[in-house]
Amino acid sequence: MSEFQNIGLIGRTESDSAVLSLKRLMAFLEREGYSVVLEKNTANDVTNHKARVSSKDKLGELCDLVIVVGGDGSLLAAARALAKFSVPLLGINRGRLGFLTDITPDEIEQKVGEVLSGKYMAESRFLLDMSVTRDGKPIGKGSSLNDVVIHPGEFIRMIEFDLFIDGQFVYTLRSDGLIISTPTGSTAYALSGGGPIMHPKLDAIVVVPLNPHTLSSRPIVVEGSSEFKVVISEHNVANPYVTCDGHDQVVTQPGDVVRIHKKPHRLTLIHPIDHNFYETCRSKLGWVG
């Protein structure tokens, strides 16, 4: 018997192709005798089904495995919601890049079947927690699997802030922003900003300045246990935004303090048995080989 009996499904329902893949996956799972639980927003677009329906939070309590049908953004959202429940995630790619959702639609039955029979790889990924305080009082928070980004928001203006790591002053930076990224996020926005690719198994965080005013400002890789404090400068004209994976947006004011650290709950990401990080990089990033 499979260790996974109750299977939660989350889909990118604005995509017709994702809905088709969801229906195909549901038919396969029900045919094989698994109990299927649909996330409630997903269920609205999957007609004529007999599956149980649940909120995203409840999926973490009800299910042994959650399968996400969509792009990396869909899996990021599921990770933020479900990491605290320790339920593993598996991704079927119906997006564009597919760094995290690595099963293609035409191999659903084969690859999902292999995973359910115990032939899979499990990776532990950490997330980041972010909070913003103003005059010592909390005004916003969020979590991310990829990155926390401080940026100018609505206006294209250089912003200024002070960065501290583990209580030690690093620098005062004037730039278009700052990316603080996990290894998972190192192949996303941080890579576009000139940061290094980090292997997912690394316990490290990369700090990537966005278009810094000084050419000597370069990405820094630090321990995964590091605590970050960013103080928004009093000299800013714009009010910098803080976003987590492009969501959970907080608008700051001069003097606000942004704190970022590793989340206590980790995510278990399931891959097919033949998953290879370097092969993913070759195919997704166009490496020659």
175 labelled binding-site residue: no
135 labelled binding-site residue: no
Binning pLDDT at 50, 70 and 90, where does residue 289 land?
low
176 labelled binding-site residue: yes
Give percent of the chain above pLDDT 90.
80
Catalytic pick from 16, 45, 64, 72? 72
At 119-137, the pLDDT tens digits run 999 999 999 999 999 999 9
Domains of the chain: 6-118 (3.40.50.10330), 127-264 (2.60.200.30)
pTM, 2 dp: 0.94
- Bridge pairing between strands 65-70 and 6-11: parallel
Q: Who contacts 27 (Cβ-Cβ below 8 Å, separation ≥6)?
A: none
Query: Half-sphere exposure of residue 7, counting CA atoms within 13 Å on the CB side?
Result: 27
- From the number of C-beta atoms within 10 Å of its C-beta (0-12, 13-18, 19+), residue 146 rates as buried
Q: Which of 32-46, 216-230, 255-269 has the lowest mean pLDDT?
A: 32-46
Q: What is the pLDDT of residue 74?
A: 92
Whether 250 shows a pLDDT value over 80: the answer reads yes
Q: Who contacts 274 (Cβ-Cβ below 8 Å, separation ≥6)?
A: none
Q: Which of 9-23, 132-146, 239-253 has the lowest mean pLDDT?
A: 9-23
129 is catalytic: no
State how far the Cα of 104 lies from the Cα of 126, in Å rounded to an integer: 25
Q: What is the pLDDT of residue 185?
A: 97
Max CA-CA distance within the chain?
63
Token pair of 72, please? 């990396």
State how far the Cα of 145 lies from the Cα of 17, in Å rounded to an integer: 25
93 labelled binding-site residue: no
Q: What is the pLDDT of residue 288?
A: 80
Q: What is the pLDDT of residue 121?
A: 96
Binning pLDDT at 50, 70 and 90, where does residue 48 land?
confident
At 73-114, the pLDDT tens digits run 999 999 999 999 999 999 999 877 788 998 999 999 999 999
